[in-house]
A and B are shown apart, each in its own frame.
Chain A
Amino acid sequence: MKYLPLIWAGIWRRPVRTALTLLSIVNAFLLYGLLQGFASGLTQGQAEVHADALIIQSRISGNEMLPTSLVARFKSASGVTDATPFVTFVGYYRRPDQFVRAWGAYPSETPQAMPAMEIAPAAIQAFRNERDGILVSTEVMTRFGWKIGDHIPLTSVLWANKNGSRSWDFTIVGTYSAPSSLGLRNSLVFDYDYLDQSRTQNQGMTNVMLVRVADPLKAGQVAQSLDALTRNSPYETKTETEGQYTRDTVQQLGNVGFLVGSIVGAVFFTLLISVGGVMAEASRERTKEIGVLKAIGFSDGGALALVLAEAAVVCLFAALVGLLIAEWLFPIARNLVGFNAAIQQGPVFVAGLALATALALASGLPPALRALRLPVIEALADHP
């Protein structure tokens, strides 16, 4: 600690240059925090899957429709305990940037079909009683500042209403909380029949069915038997475990890990060049000062430690600020893009600070080694 004033003074030798360097590091770690937040959220979604859940979609694609009459056939299949349709409702609240994702489900089956959802019994009852009732996740309630009883219009990009508009009116009857898997977090759930009876096309159809199996160890076997039921029919299905479904959904976005890694890699390579240049220049400017420190008794190792400590303080301080801003901004960014998962703060922070340490070493080591090797007589004779 006694060296801190010396380190701090060295850092602020040229305030404008230091401020710009700090800003560039903060910016890079802000980007890193946000991107890694999204990537870790997707990983978290895959980790929270239920072993007894199967997702059924059209074999052609997840957007193709399947008749809800299939639900009864699947429900009666061997090894299946429950089956229910879910229809996707993609749209927005008042403005297109207020993106929302909702699901149409049977109110009478919602608690059984989605046991991971935490819903108050009164909310379930109200959901069953109100035809235009909608359950809203706590994240979405907070995001829009809604309260129970509010009437909300949602515009669908998929479904036109028989009244000629794409606007659908709902009444909020309750809230729920859910894990990030299946996209229920940050979502809404309404009565399937309310949509089905008023939409202009695809009545009696759904794009997703959720099946529960009795024995999770036999989930793969049951999936094959369900797909066999629709083979060679106009509505062939593709049944996946919830884990496979989540992985497929993530893969539809592309190789997120590679994408994030590439962006972060490019940013940090540029940052390394610029910060390394600044550190080297700062060290060169202080050649004489390093000579004086050595003359009064600082060892070669001490000179190395001082230069490295400056790099570490700059990189770690700025990285921490960037990561904290990312943590603060993440919920806003998540809502803007309608992302369902929550950030994994701990691992992102730890990885971020490890990255900052690596940046400090990579950018600080060359000037630190120069300080180590600098002969005191040569350093004192330096004329900047």
Chain B
Amino acid sequence: MQPLISLKGVVKSYKRGRQTVEVLHNLDLEVQSGEFLALMGPSGSGKTTLLNLIGGLDRPTDGDVVVGGEHIDDLSAGALAKWRSRHVGFVFQFYNLMPTLSAERNVELPLLLTHLSGAERRKNVEAALALVGLTDRKKHKPAELSGGQQQRVAIARAIVADPTLLVCDEPTGDLDRETAEEILGLLQHLNREAGKTVIMVTHDPKAASFASRIVHLDKGALAPEPAEAVA
């Protein structure tokens, strides 16, 4: 079966002054459609860099990144932006909501890039907010919501355009344990019930336990999977 995500020989390096620092070394990874993959590893191991490559936010220095059959490393900046709007939903550690927009306006943002009418956008926003349980808070601005509620709004924004892939960078890193479990449960629900492929970077083994597969990164390379990998 064709994997949804396929990385082959991926190298990513950055220039720091005169030095070139290689963050990812000749990395190969495949993720099947419908997987919930947790990327774990110590700080500086290249987790977020790898996530950015998969999400089309950055390009590899070398190697191929194929997502949904598309060589996204070959796309122009404009085409890559359009591809992200259609296929990827992002969830960030610090929610990254627009502080001046209400919850529903934040959720609507990805739909502004579509040809949907105002009424259709509102309908989809309502559905996304209902899925994360925030219908009654739709008129509230981020500052009027708790951390957990803000992350739910961010998840609603990530799923409202019905992307194939959810890319989550430490989505529970700023939340207390109970709220974090609610958010992880929601991501798991989206994975299992809505069929979304989820890639999540986390430091937290408890968070990673919600995933169907855990991949460890160390110093820019994939580490062998531990024997007790979760189901």
Whether chains A and B associate is yes
Whole-angstrom CA separation of A10 from B109 in the bound complex: 13
From B57, B81, B109, A6 is in contact (CB under 8 Å) with B109
Whether a CB of chain A sits under 8 angstroms from the CB of B36 is no
Within 8 A of B (CB), among A255-304: 288-289, 291-302
Q: A118-155 toward B: CB 8 Å interface, digit per residue (1/0)?
A: 00000000000000000000000000000000000000
B101 contacts which chain A residues (CB < 8 A)? 5-6, 9
Closest Cβ–Cβ distance, residue A337 to chain B (whole Å) = 44
B58 contacts which chain A residues (CB < 8 A)? 376-377
B81 contacts which chain A residues (CB < 8 A)? 294, 297-300, 302
From A12, A296, A300, A301, B109 is in contact (CB under 8 Å) with A296
Contact A297 B82 (CB under 8 A): yes
Closest Cβ–Cβ distance, residue A304 to chain B (whole Å) = 12
Whole-angstrom CA separation of A9 from B98 in the bound complex: 9
Whether a CB of chain A sits under 8 angstroms from the CB of B105 is yes
Contact B100 A296 (CB under 8 A): no
Closest Cβ–Cβ distance, residue A320 to chain B (whole Å) = 23
Within 8 A of A (CB), among B83-127: 84-86, 90, 92, 96, 98-101, 105, 109-110, 112-113, 118, 121
Interface residues on chain A, size class: 20 to 34
Contact A293 B109 (CB under 8 A): yes
A299 contacts which chain B residues (CB < 8 A)? 77-78, 81-82
Whole-angstrom CA separation of A110 from B83 in the bound complex: 80
Q: A299-B78, A300-B78 are in contact. Are A3 and B112 (CB under 8 A)?
A: yes
Closest Cβ–Cβ distance, residue A281 to chain B (whole Å) = 16
Whether a CB of chain B sits under 8 angstroms from the CB of A231 is no
Whether a CB of chain A sits under 8 angstroms from the CB of B212 is no
A12 contacts which chain B residues (CB < 8 A)? 100
Closest Cβ–Cβ distance, residue A11 to chain B (whole Å) = 9
Whether a CB of chain A sits under 8 angstroms from the CB of B26 is no
Whether a CB of chain B sits under 8 angstroms from the CB of A73 is no
Whether a CB of chain A sits under 8 angstroms from the CB of B157 is yes
Contact A300 B77 (CB under 8 A): yes
Q: A2-B118, A380-B92 are in contact. Are A295 and B57 (CB under 8 A)?
A: yes
5 residue pairs bridging A and B, Cβ less than 8 Å apart: A6-B105, A12-B100, A13-B100, A292-B98, A377-B57
In the A-B complex, the 7 residue pairs with the smallest Cβ-Cβ separation, listed nearest first, are: A297-B85, A9-B100, A299-B81, A292-B96, A296-B110, A297-B84, A297-B113
- In the complex, besides A295-B55, A296-B113, A376-B58, 20 extra interface pairs with C-beta distance below 8 angstroms are A3-B112, A6-B101, A6-B109, A6-B112, A13-B100, A289-B98, A292-B92, A293-B109, A295-B57, A295-B90, A296-B84, A296-B90, A296-B110, A297-B84, A299-B81, A299-B82, A300-B81, A301-B78, A376-B57, A377-B58
